[in-house]
């Protein structure tokens, strides 16, 4: 995949972190109008249909007969497991605890990339990954109250593992499929599955098709789902996946800041301390080690 410039990388990272951070309070607001699985399915299919408009002019690059299994495997990990288990799991565990477990994903991603992609793993990077997770845990600590279900913890871990494995899989197969078609098809496949599950277990009559919900749904489908996933996999494909993953530690921070504005949730000392951990984490993960070289002995 084509390498991005520093400006392009910074723009896509900023776009991704802000939009995926905003997604949490917006999704919470949307659930006042709709059951969770139906909402997950509708927004994912809409995101896929939006990207389909951009993918169709590249129809020759689809090569579905040769590459269909790549799309199905990616959809299984990145949409069905990640979104499906996440949506179900929020009903079994406090939101703060659940999000902290889900955002162990960058740590898992760093390990997966080391094992399967041959990305470098060194002491500073390991410390950085765990500092980032610690920062997320500190930020989310206020949500650790309430009944903690083993099922909720398992579903959160499953969601994190699905996202991590899906990211590595897309990185590993990136040179064999078109990036836009990869994101489009996985969204459509995953969305159809989630919508089918929602139809089986939930009722369409419970959806309140009111203006705030429709605006929210269209915004999430377009920017968070369609262009968000495209930006994420573009970044992963152009650089080290583990380093891109380290920036996702910032997403809970953005989510809490947006929640304080949109949902009037309080900002605590935990937020400040957690932010410091996350900033140091990103610095450590992205810090390049200087290789030791022998002094030049030429005359």
The stretch 247-270 carries a mean pLDDT of 75
Q: What does DSSP assign to residue 206? A: G
- CB 285 within 8 Å of CB 246: yes
Is 194 domain-assigned? yes
| Of 181, 163, 160, 193, residue with least CA distance to 70 | 181
Tell me how far apart the alpha carbons of residues 24 and 69 are, in angstroms, rounded to a whole number. 31
The stretch 246-266 carries a mean pLDDT of 75
Is 1 domain-assigned? no
Q: Which domain holds residue 148?
A: 6-286
Number of structural domains in the chain: 1
Tell me how far apart the alpha carbons of residues 100 and 143 are, in angstroms, rounded to a whole number. 10
Highest-confidence segment of 87-91, 187-191, 273-277, 285-289? 187-191
Is 297 domain-assigned? no
Is 197 domain-assigned? yes
Is 109 domain-assigned? yes
Q: CB count, 10 Å around CB of 208?
A: 11
pLDDT top residue among 149 and 125:
125
User: pTM here?
Assistant: 0.81
The structure tokens 């500073």 sit at 124
Q: Distances from the Cα of 38 to the Cαs of 25, 34, 165, in angstroms? A: 18, 7, 25
Is 20 domain-assigned? yes
Tell me how far apart the alpha carbons of residues 78 and 44 are, in angstroms, rounded to a whole number. 11
In the predicted structure, residue 256 carries a pLDDT above the cut 50: yes
Structure tokens at 209: 């098709």
Q: Return mean pLDDT, the chain.
A: 84
Predicted confidence at residue 284, as pLDDT, reads 84
- Tens of pLDDT along 84-143? 888 778 777 666 566 767 878 888 888 898 889 888 888 888 898 888 888 878 876 755
Highest-confidence segment of 45-59, 93-107, 137-151, 246-260? 45-59
Q: Report the Cα–Cα distance between both ends of the chain, in Å, rounded.
A: 42
Helix axes 179-201, 64-75, angle to 10 degrees: 50
If you write DSSP's letter for every residue of 82-102 in order, what string do you get? IIIHHHHHTTTS-HHHHHHHH
- Tens of pLDDT along 167-196? 999 988 888 999 899 999 999 999 999 999
Q: What does DSSP assign to residue 174? A: T
Predicted confidence at residue 218, as pLDDT, reads 96
Tell me how far apart the alpha carbons of residues 85 and 83 are, in angstroms, rounded to a whole number. 6
How sure is the predictor about 293, in pLDDT bands with cuts at 50, 70 and 90? very low
Tell me how far apart the alpha carbons of residues 25 and 261 are, in angstroms, rounded to a whole number. 10
Is 293 domain-assigned? no
Q: Distances from the Cα of 195 to the Cαs of 23, 37, 199, in angstroms? A: 19, 7, 6
Is 299 domain-assigned? no
């Amino acid at each position: 995949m084509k390498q991005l410039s520093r400006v392009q990388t910074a723009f896509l990272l900023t776009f991704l972190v802000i939009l995926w951070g905003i997604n949490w309070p917006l999704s919470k607001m949307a659930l006042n109008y709709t059951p969770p699985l139906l909402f997950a399915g509708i927004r994912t299919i809409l995101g896929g249909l939006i990207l389909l408009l951009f993918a169709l002019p590249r129809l020759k690059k689809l090569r579905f007969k040769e590459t269909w299994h790549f799309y199905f495997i990616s959809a299984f990990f990145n949409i069905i497991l990640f979104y499906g288990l996440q949506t179900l799991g929020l009903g079994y565990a406090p939101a703060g605890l659940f999000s902290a477990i889900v955002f162990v994903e960058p740590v898992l991603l760093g390990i997966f990339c080391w094992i399967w992609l041959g990305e470098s793993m060194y002491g500073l990077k390991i410390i950085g990954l765990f500092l980032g997770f610690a920062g997320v845990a500190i930020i989310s600590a206020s949500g650790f109250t309430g009944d903690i279900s083993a099922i909720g913890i398992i579903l959160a871990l499953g969601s994190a593992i699905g996202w991590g494995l899906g990211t590595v899989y897309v990185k590993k197969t990136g040179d064999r499929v078109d990036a836009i078609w990869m994101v489009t098809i996985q969204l459509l496949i995953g969305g159809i599955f989630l919508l089918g599950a929602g139809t089986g277990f939930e009722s369409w009559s419970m959806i309140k098709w009111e203006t705030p919900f429709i605006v929210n749904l269209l915004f999430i489908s377009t920017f968070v789902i369609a262009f968000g996933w495209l930006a994420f996999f573009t970044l992963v494909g152009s650089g080290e996946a583990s380093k891109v993953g380290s920036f996702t530690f910032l997403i809970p921070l953005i989510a809490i800041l947006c929640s304080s504005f949109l949902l009037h949730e309080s900002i605590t000392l935990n937020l400040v301390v957690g932010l410091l951990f996350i900033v140091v984490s990103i610095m450590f993960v992205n810090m390049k080690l200087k290789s030791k070289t022998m002094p030049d002995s030429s005359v």
